[in-house]
Amino acid sequence: MPAKLSVNLNAVAMLRNRRDLPWPSVTGLGRIALEAGASGLTVHPRPDQRHIRFSDLPEIRALLDDEFPDREFNIEGYPTQEFLALVEEHQPEQVTLVPDDPAQATSDHGWDFSGQGEFLQPIIARLKKQGFRVSLFADPDPEQVPHAAALGADRIELYTGPYGACHDDSGKAAIELEKLGKTADAAANIGLGVNAGHDLTVANLPALARRIPGLCEVSIGHGLAADALEHGMAQTVRRFMRACEG
């Protein structure tokens, strides 16, 4: 089965936030993506609300509940008490924990599972007690995988930024792809699910899907939003879903 596609709406929200106007509509474009076949929607509500606003969360939750009850809501972020309160209020199917500093422009590394395990373990337990699937943002490092599993996570999300950065160098891309593949292999060997995200495109996604045939989900925002400017949201979602087939 191909990896599921979760459409990250942050870039849509950031464009909207350039003006004090309600367009482009985050929920409107989310609806188009879901109608085109996307398996879910992802948001990363940062403390400064520079793209997704806290007020967007109940509207997205209602969109999924009312019109697409078989799809998933994925909320990602650094697990501050404020973030955890947002998660508990809006009840996503999946929570993806990322080790971002609030000042970062975007996610750029995974957790140090062995070094930060004492911090993460009670947070993961709190989230899982409420029935959320928990995914942890991870660098491509097979040796870190057992530590992620020991913390109680359901999945890891492979940080694919270095792979995406090799868009103009096929040799380097192959090296980065194998790092991701070996990490996914290690996860599969111990029953840990694997998601992936960051700088994935229609061009580089098929090779990733072929190397990691058990990939559960890809979360894509920037590349998908860029393509949507050219092809429209519905056609772009269909293009990315085909790319997930390998």
pLDDT tens for residues 157-212?
Answer: 999 999 999 999 999 999 999 999 999 999 999 999 999 999 999 999 999 999 99
Please identify which of the residues 72, 76, 157, 176 carries the catalytic annotation.
76
Please identify which of the residues 44, 51, 90, 147 carries the catalytic annotation.
44
pLDDT tens for 40-50 read 999 999 999 99
- DSSP annotation of 142: G
Query: What are the structure tokens assigned to 214, written together?
Result: 């058990």
Cβ-Cβ contacts under 8 Å for 2 (sequence gap 6 or more)? 209, 241, 244, 245, 246
Residue 245 CA to residue 25 CA, distance in Å, equals 29
- With residue 236 as reference, give the H or E element that holds it: helix 233-243
Residue 92 CA to residue 72 CA, distance in Å, equals 7
Q: Tell me, what's the pLDDT at 104?
A: 59
pLDDT tens for 215-233 read 999 999 999 999 999 999 9
Please identify which of the residues 51, 90, 147, 198 carries the catalytic annotation.
198
Question: Could you tell me if 123 and 136 are in contact, meaning their C-beta atoms sit under 8 angstroms apart?
Answer: no
Residue 211 CA to residue 191 CA, distance in Å, equals 17
pLDDT tens for 116-135 read 999 999 999 999 999 999 99
Q: Tell me, what's the pLDDT at 20?
A: 85
- Select from 1.20.1370.10, 3.90.79.10, 1.25.40.20, 3.20.20.70 the CATH code of 4-243: 3.20.20.70
**Domains of the chain by residue range:** 4-243
- The question of whether 198 is a catalytic residue gets the answer yes
- The question of whether 76 is a catalytic residue gets the answer yes
pLDDT at 143 over 90: yes
Question: Could you tell me if 18 and 50 are in contact, meaning their C-beta atoms sit under 8 angstroms apart?
Answer: no
- The question of whether 44 is a catalytic residue gets the answer yes
Q: Tell me, what's the pLDDT at 211?
A: 98
Question: Could you tell me if 242 and 218 are in contact, meaning their C-beta atoms sit under 8 angstroms apart?
Answer: no
